A and B are shown apart, each in its own frame.
Chain A
Amino acid sequence: MSTFEADSATDSHGAHGHDHDHPKFLAHHFETPEQQYDSGKLGTWVFLVTEVLFFSGMFCAYAIFRMLRPEVFEGCSQFLNTKLGAINTGVLLFSSLTMAWAVRCAQTEEYRKLTAMLASTLSCAMIFLGVKAIEYSHKWEMGLLPAGMFSYDPAHPHHADSPNYLVWICLPFALALVGVVVWLISAALQGNKFQVACLKPLTVVAFSFFIGVGLGTFLESGDSGETHATTHHESGEHALELASTSSLLGREDRGATEFGVIERLAGDATNSGLKNELEALEAQAEIASGSAILNDSADSDATIQKAPRDFLTPSRAGVFFSIYYCMTGIHAIHILAGIGVLVWLLVRSVRQDFNRQYFGPVDYVGLYWHLVDLIWIYLFPLLYLIR
């Protein structure tokens, strides 16, 4: 859209016909509502292209690390609750439906329905975030954090002294709910009908976050939580074998030779030759003491117990969770941005700004919202559904 074209468009109307030809919603540099709509739409598509390219960087990081360490992804994916991911996929798909329906309502000028559809979309977005809050807080409590902060201990999966992350995540949303309710009451007392009409659906929207939290808590406590618990238990037993160098050094009943090996190993933990020496010495000691029968599974390398050892290390699992938090976190930020623009649309919908010649804003926000949904459609199987 060049300025030259815009100028010629306004000039063609002349001085007198300008107001008549141009309704309020039609910007003066556009000739027809369709021209205005089309240029806005092209701009939106270009924006969506930048969004796709932006997310592709993270998908690329995912592809590289999964190619290098498939077993880390397979193992760490077990910590993601498929049920919560699936329910969130459903919620997001439903919000896409209501969003597409909202575009239709704007085109057919059904104002009450348009407000209802936008409010449903917003509520679904809030439910999505509520479920996400459960997922995030659950992982943070277990120390399943990005590389550098990863502190998951299979023996003690739930850190007792960790702050209640869920409360902190819920706090801004609770404040928002209280704020909306207070505003609604004061608007009702003042008799401001427009504000009341806007704030009624927004109260439902703000409350929906806690529906999501409740839904997440309910599903998290379901049977998939049990399988998690068994995984923890298994790896917890195994973690007892993951003794640190310092605790090895603390053992007093070891022979002097073995102590020397451990000491050298402490100096260079990557020396596999020393590890083997230690292994041999310990095996000897066990056979001598008669306890070797209990540990015969140690002979074979490919047992299932061997698996958690490989992926549950801070640097390996940390990279998975870095990617997980980066991708889902930026996706959640997009949801928050979507909530922002949808609230704007809701207010304008109550004001009855849209009609069959001017529904562009609803359509553009809809396109953005569907793109956010599209990204989740790929994120869900890639992160949650790895065996």
Chain B
Amino acid sequence: MTATADRPRATGTPPTAPPSGRAPSDTTGKTDRQVRRIAFSQKLSRWDVKYSPYLYISPFFILFAIVGLFPLLYTAWVSVHEWNLIGGQGDFVGADNFAFVLQQEQFWIALRNTFSIFLISSVPQVATALLIAAVLDRNLRGKTFWRMGVLLPYIVAPVAVALIFSNMFGDQYGLINNLLGNIGIDPIGWHSDVFASHIAIATMVNFRWTGYTALILLAAMQAIPRDYYEASMIDGAGIVRQFFSITIPQLRPTLIFVIVTSTIGGLQIFDEPRLYDSAGQGGASGQWMTITIYLYNLGWGQLNFGRAAAVAWLLFIIIVLVGLLNLAITRRIASGDNPQKVLNRAARRAARTRRDQEVDA
């Protein structure tokens, strides 16, 4: 922090300046600074300006290289070998592990489940969060109370959430089926039916994450200059119009962030489906077995790390692809980079016609 604040001064001041002005060069490791040639000191300062920023951000990258990049590459190494949890590295098998996994019906079931759960959790989640945030953004009484309230589910441990919800979604004695029974609806097979089990799991996910997402969106909403709303109000725009024409376009970067993170989280979903029943294997016919559960079963159930690593890499590739797709879609939804453009009706109209033409084409 000190260095950042002082750096501009340090470059401009002669070496005889007060010690405080030379603090940054200390960080490069030279402590003995009694008599030095001016040129070297200046060189130091120049290096300081050039390289210090990289030094300051380096902890992240060093840490990432150790705990992120290395495991990623090592997993790739494991995935092309026969690898037992205890026996360790076996023969090199090339793409055999990938081929095996891709030929398994279970993998495709897991893929289907993962996408299904991801879609029926993420889409409603972001939409609801957006609405909640919009409501919280207005002048409410007891603002802080409501804002903290929406975050409350997030601090409940996932294990506790899963326990409570799997109790509610019990097939014979669950709360929900009892309620349905009371109004004359047949009980739903929350654990036997594929889609019903996905709904139950998506409910758990949404319960935990909607408030969290809402708060992120709320923070972004608060940063939107109020002038826009005033100006649009004078133009006669209602709340709904404001929401779609100002709030959403202004939220674009945050929306992209939220959608990308929820994509990653959604495709890696593990806790909730694993705790959904006592066996934790995703159901007798894999009704709610997700890719991460499949990975876990291969790695720790069958102790076959080679195949598990192959699944991990496939999941990685899938997430990257879906992330890119999401990015492309999000850009289209929330078009318009700067506020002027947004408020300029002519431009908007032009954009709309352009879009329509594109759709037609």
B partners with A? no
